[in-house]
Amino acid sequence: MLAQLAQEVDFVRPAIDWHAVAPELTLLAFGALVTVMDIVWLERGRRLTSSVASIALLVTMIPIITLALDGEDRVMFGGAFVVDNYALVMKAMFLLAGYVVVLLSTNYVAEGDYWENEYYGLLLSSILGMVLMASARDLITVFVALELLSIPAYMLATWRKRDLKSNEAGLKYYLMGVFASAIMLYGMSLLYGGAGSTLLTDINDAVSVDDSPSAIVVMGVIFVIIGFAFKVSAFPFHTWAPDTYEGAPTPVTAFLSVASKAAGFVALLNLLFVGFFGRDDVYEPLIWILAAASMTVGNLIALRQTNLVRMLAYSGVAQAGYMLAPLAVASDVGDAALTATVTYLLVYAAMNLGAFAIVLAVARKTRSAEIDSFKGLFGYAPGLTIAMTVFLFSLAGIPPLGGWWAKFRVMEAVIEAESASGVVLGVFVAVNSVIALYYYARIGLGMWAEDAPDGDTTPIRVPASLASALAITVALTIAFGVYPPLVSEFDVTLLAGGLGG
Amino acid sequence: MLLNQFLLLSAVLFCLGVYGVLARKNGMLVLMSVELILNAVNINLVAFGAFRTDVGGSVFALFTIAVAAAEVGIGLAIVLLMYRNRRSIDLTQADLLKG
C-alpha cells in the first residue's frame, strides 16, 4: 500500500544545503553523543560530559564562522529556513551564551550530585532549539523550535528533584509556558487561516494588502505577541519569572534569563519583521504598552527585593521593556529598530550572565543569594567585587560599559521615529534608567562600603571554569562599551521579505 | 463549506480551556484545560486547511499533536514529582516562592 501511495503522490525531495544546516547537525550529533556516553562508559563518561558539552558548542561555532565568511544568504525549504547575517549573529550569541552556561554549571552540577549527562544533553538540545529559531521563517518551524528550546528548559528548572522550591519553580514555569505556547498557537492558527500559508513572507503579503485588517488577523497578531510576551517575561506576563529564577538551580536561571529570553525575542523579531511588518497599526500600540509597562513595573518591584536573584529577575523584566521599546516604532525606523534590539540582546547576554556568575561564586561561600550577604564583599573578594560592579553599572547603563551603548541605541531608535509615541517612550526609558540606578548602586554600595554581616572574611575560592566564565563576560561587557563597532557594525537586515517587502 | 461552525466550536473550546487554566486549582485539570486549547488550535488548522484546500493546515495540526504529546509527558512528570514530595497536586499549596 505504501508503494501505491508513493506512486500516486508526486513527491519531490527538497534540495538540502548541508553547509547551511551544519551548525544544527553538529549540535544534534554532540547532544546525542553526550546522552549516549553515560550509557556506554558509565562513571568514566560522566566525568567528561561537561568538557564534551563545551567542546560541542565551540565546534559548532566553526560552521557558523565559515558561513559568515562565505557571506551568502541561504534559503531552504521554500523559505522556511533562512541563513542570513542576522541569523548567524544570533546563532553565535546562543552558542557563546550556552558555552558560558556550561562553564557556570561545571562545578555546580558535579558537586551537587545531579544527573550530569542528562543535564548537559538537555542543555544542548535546548540550545539546538534556539539555534534553529534564529533561522525559522515559517510558523511550523518557529513552533517546533520554540518547543525544542522550552521543553528541556522545563526539566532543567525542576532539576533538584527532592527540593520543594525547585519543584515549584519548574511547575510554575511549565504551566505558564504551555499556557503561553497554547495561546500563541491559537494565534498562529488564525494567522494561517487569514493568509492560507504558514510561510512568514506569504503571511506578510496576505495580511498587509488591506487598509484595515480583518478581525482574524488582528486576533492572530495579538495572540502571537502575547504568547511571546510570556517567553520574554514582559509585564503583565512576567509572574513566573521571579519564582522560577529563585527556585531553579542558579546556572539554569542564568540560562533562562539570557538564552531563553533572547530566543523569545528572536522569534518575536522574525514574526514581526518578516511575518506581519505591514500591520503596524495592530502590533505597534500593543508593543508600546508592553514596553512601557514592563520597564516601569519591573523597576518599581525590583526596588524592594531583598534577594539578588529575584532582583535580577525583576530587572530582567525591565530590561525586556527596553528591548521591546524600539519595536514599538518599528514601522517608522525599520532597520534601526532591529539593530537596536539585537545590540541590546548581545550586550544583555554578556552582562546578565556575568552577574549570575558572581551570584554563583559568592553563594559557594555564603550559601545564600540575599542582598545582605553581599555586604563587605570587597574586604575578602576584591576581584569579584570589581567584576560585579562592572556588571551592575553596565545593567544600569553607565558609560563606558556595554549597557550604556545598548541603551543609547534604543534611545536613538525611539527618538529617530520623530513621533509623539516614540518620544514618550524615550522619556519612559530615561526615567526608568534613573530608578534602576538606585537599586543597582545600592548593592554596589553594600559591597564596597559596608562590613561583612557575620564578620567571616575567609576568601572565596573561585574554580577555574567559573573564573573563565567571569573573564569572558567582563571582557565582553567592557569591550562592547569601549569599542561599540563590535556590536553595532553587524549588518543585521532580515532577508527574504523582511521590512514589508 | 461550513467554516464558521468549526471556528465557533474552536472559539468555545479555547474559552473553556483558558477559563480552566485560570480557575482550576488541581494540577491535572489545568493540564487538561491546556489540552482543550490545543484541540481548539487543531480544529482551527484543519478547518482552515480544508477551506483553502491547502495541506499545510493538516501538517501543522500533526506537528501540534506530536509536540503536545511530548509537552504533556513532561507536565505529568512534574505534577507527579509534586505529588511525591507533597502528597497533593493542589496548585494553591505551591506558595514557597513569592514576593
Burial of A120-157, coded b for 16+ CB within 10 Å and e otherwise, reads: bbbbbbbbbbbbbbbbbbbbbbbbbbbbbbbbbbbbbb
The pLDDT value given to residue A64? 92
Q: Which amino acid is at A268?
A: L
Pairwise CB contact (< 8 Å): A307 & B81: no
Pairwise CB contact (< 8 Å): A171 & B97: no
Are A84 and A73 in contact, with CB atoms under 8 Å apart? yes
The pLDDT value given to residue A488? 65
Q: Is the pLDDT of residue A497 over 50?
A: no
The pLDDT value given to residue A162? 85
The pLDDT value given to residue A379? 83
How many domains does chain A divide into? 1
Which residues 58-87 on chain B approach chain A with CB closer than 8 angstroms?
A: 59-60, 63-64, 67, 70-71, 74-75, 77-79, 81-82, 85-86
In this complex, the residue of A165, A185, A243 whose CB is nearest that of residue B41 is A185
Pairwise CB contact (< 8 Å): B41 & A161: no
- How many separate helices (H) and strands (E) can be counted in chain B? 3, 0
Average pLDDT over chain A reads 87
Please name the residue that has the C-alpha cell 547551511.
A20
In this complex, the residue of B60, B75, B97 whose CB is nearest that of residue A178 is B75
3-state secondary structure of A305: coil
Query: Per the domain annotation, does B98 fall within a domain?
Result: no
Smallest Cα distance from A196 to chain B, Å: 7
* Confidence category of residue A113, pLDDT binned at 50, 70, 90: low
Residue A298: all three cell numbers together: 519591573
* Confidence category of residue B99, pLDDT binned at 50, 70, 90: low
Query: Per the domain annotation, does A1 fall within a domain?
Result: no
Q: If you count them, how many residues does chain A have?
A: 501
Portion of chain A with pLDDT greater than 90, in percent: 50
Pairwise CB contact (< 8 Å): B44 & A305: no
Q: Which amino acid is at B74?
A: I
Query: Per the domain annotation, does B93 fall within a domain?
Result: no
Q: Which amino acid is at A455?
A: G
Query: Per the domain annotation, does A8 fall within a domain?
Result: no
3-state secondary structure of B90: strand
Q: Is the pLDDT of residue A501 over 60?
A: no
Picking from A365, A369, A385, A388, the residue whose alpha carbon sits closest to that of residue A377 is: A385
In this complex, the residue of B17, B60, B75 whose CB is nearest that of residue A140 is B60
Report pLDDT digits (tens) over A465-487.
899 999 999 999 998 888 877 77
**Residue of B6, B32, B67, B89 for testing the chain A interface, max A β-carbons within 10 Å:** B67
Q: Which residues pair with A199 in a beta bridge?
A: A138
Are A233 and A263 in contact, with CB atoms under 8 Å apart? no
Query: Per the domain annotation, does A7 fall within a domain?
Result: no
Please state the rounded mean pLDDT for residues A348-370. 89
As a whole number of angstroms, the distance between CA B7 and CA B76 comes to: 30
- The more confidently predicted of residues A368 and A154 is A154
As a whole number of angstroms, the distance between CA A177 and CA A296 comes to: 23
Separation in Å, CA B31 to CA A176, A499, B34, B79, B97 = 11, 38, 5, 9, 21
Provide the Cα torsion A60, A88, A99, A375; round to 10°. 180
* Confidence category of residue A224, pLDDT binned at 50, 70, 90: very high
Q: Is A222 in CB contact (< 8 Å) with chain B?
A: no
- The more confidently predicted of residues A290 and A493 is A290
Pairwise CB contact (< 8 Å): B71 & A147: yes
Q: If you count them, how many residues does chain B have?
A: 99
Query: Per the domain annotation, does A360 fall within a domain?
Result: yes
Report pLDDT digits (tens) over A13-54.
778 888 889 999 999 999 999 888 878 877 776 778 888 899
Pairwise CB contact (< 8 Å): B63 & A143: yes
Are A352 and A101 in contact, with CB atoms under 8 Å apart? no
| Residue A422 neighbours by CB under 8 Å, 6+ apart | A328, A329, A332, A414, A415, A416
Smallest Cα distance from A467 to chain B, Å: 30
Are A272 and A283 in contact, with CB atoms under 8 Å apart? yes
Q: If residue A393 lies in a helix (H) or strand (E), which one and from where to where?
A: helix A382-396
Q: Which residues pair with A162 in a beta bridge?
A: none
* Confidence category of residue B1, pLDDT binned at 50, 70, 90: low
Please, is B72 exposed, middle or buried when counting C-beta atoms within 10 Å of its C-beta (0-12, 13-18, 19+)?
middle
Q: Is the pLDDT of residue A294 over 90?
A: yes
* Confidence category of residue A138, pLDDT binned at 50, 70, 90: very high
The pLDDT value given to residue B62? 94
Smallest Cα distance from B2 to chain A, Å: 14
- Kindly report whether the peptide bond that precedes residue A236 is cis, defined as omega within 30 degrees of 0: yes
The residue of chain B with its CA nearest to that of A243 is: B97
Residue A462: all three cell numbers together: 573561585
For residue A179, list chain B residues with Cβ-Cβ distance below 8 A. 21, 34, 37
**Any idea what the Cα angle at residue B6 is, between residues A139 and A199, rounded to 5°?**
15
* Confidence category of residue A189, pLDDT binned at 50, 70, 90: very high
Residue A52: all three cell numbers together: 564534551
Q: Is the pLDDT of residue A349 over 50?
A: yes
Please name the residue that has the C-alpha cell 565559515.
A66
A64-73, A291-300, A390-399: segment of lowest average pLDDT: A64-73
DSSP structural state of residue A65: H
* Confidence category of residue A7, pLDDT binned at 50, 70, 90: low
Q: Is the pLDDT of residue A436 over 50?
A: yes
Query: Per the domain annotation, does A382 fall within a domain?
Result: yes
**What ipTM was assigned to the predicted interfaces of this complex?**
0.95
Query: Per the domain annotation, does A5 fall within a domain?
Result: no
Q: Is B38 in CB contact (< 8 Å) with chain A?
A: yes
Phi, psi of A30 (to 5 degrees): -70, -35
Separation in Å, CA B38 to CA A143, A152, A188, A202, A345 = 13, 20, 12, 24, 31
CATH number of the domain within which B74 lies: 1.10.287.3510
The pLDDT value given to residue A348? 93
Please state the rounded mean pLDDT for residues A315-339. 89
Please, is A27 exposed, middle or buried when counting C-beta atoms within 10 Å of its C-beta (0-12, 13-18, 19+)?
buried
Report pLDDT digits (tens) over A47-105.
788 888 999 999 999 999 999 888 788 888 888 898 988 899 899 999 999 999 999 99
Are A156 and A126 in contact, with CB atoms under 8 Å apart? yes
Please state the rounded mean pLDDT for residues A124-133. 94
Q: Is A175 in CB contact (< 8 Å) with chain B?
A: yes
Please state the rounded mean pLDDT for residues A145-172. 91
Q: Which amino acid is at A377?
A: L
The pLDDT value given to residue A57? 93
Report pLDDT digits (tens) over B15-73.
999 999 999 888 899 999 999 999 999 999 999 999 988 888 999 999 999 999 999 99
Pairwise CB contact (< 8 Å): A178 & B44: no
Strands A74-76 and A81-83: antiparallel
Are A176 and A230 in contact, with CB atoms under 8 Å apart? yes
Picking from A154, A161, A157, A115, the residue whose alpha carbon sits closest to that of residue B85 is: A161
- The more confidently predicted of residues A334 and A307 is A307
In this complex, the residue of B14, B27, B99 whose CB is nearest that of residue A186 is B14
Q: What is the DSSP string of A266-296?
A: HHHHHIIIIISTT-HHHHHHHHHHHHHHHHH
Residue A313: all three cell numbers together: 529577575
Please state the rounded mean pLDDT for residues B1-16. 91
Report pLDDT digits (tens) over B16-32.
999 999 998 888 999 99
A259-268, A312-321, A491-500, B69-78: segment of lowest average pLDDT: A491-500
* Confidence category of residue A498, pLDDT binned at 50, 70, 90: very low
Q: Is the pLDDT of residue A129 over 90?
A: yes
Please state the rounded mean pLDDT for residues A271-293. 90
Query: Per the domain annotation, does B92 fall within a domain?
Result: no
Q: Is the pLDDT of residue A496 over 60?
A: no
Residues of the domain holding B69: 7-87
| pTM (predicted TM-score) | 0.92
Query: Per the domain annotation, does A100 fall within a domain?
Result: yes
Query: Per the domain annotation, does B2 fall within a domain?
Result: no
CB neighbours (10 Å) of residue A15? 7
Q: Is A242 in CB contact (< 8 Å) with chain B?
A: yes
Residues of the domain holding A387: 15-488
How many domains does chain B divide into? 1
The pLDDT value given to residue A213? 74
Residue A108: all three cell numbers together: 555546580
For residue B40, list chain A residues with Cβ-Cβ distance below 8 A. 186
Portion of chain A with pLDDT greater than 70, in percent: 94
Query: Per the domain annotation, does A3 fall within a domain?
Result: no
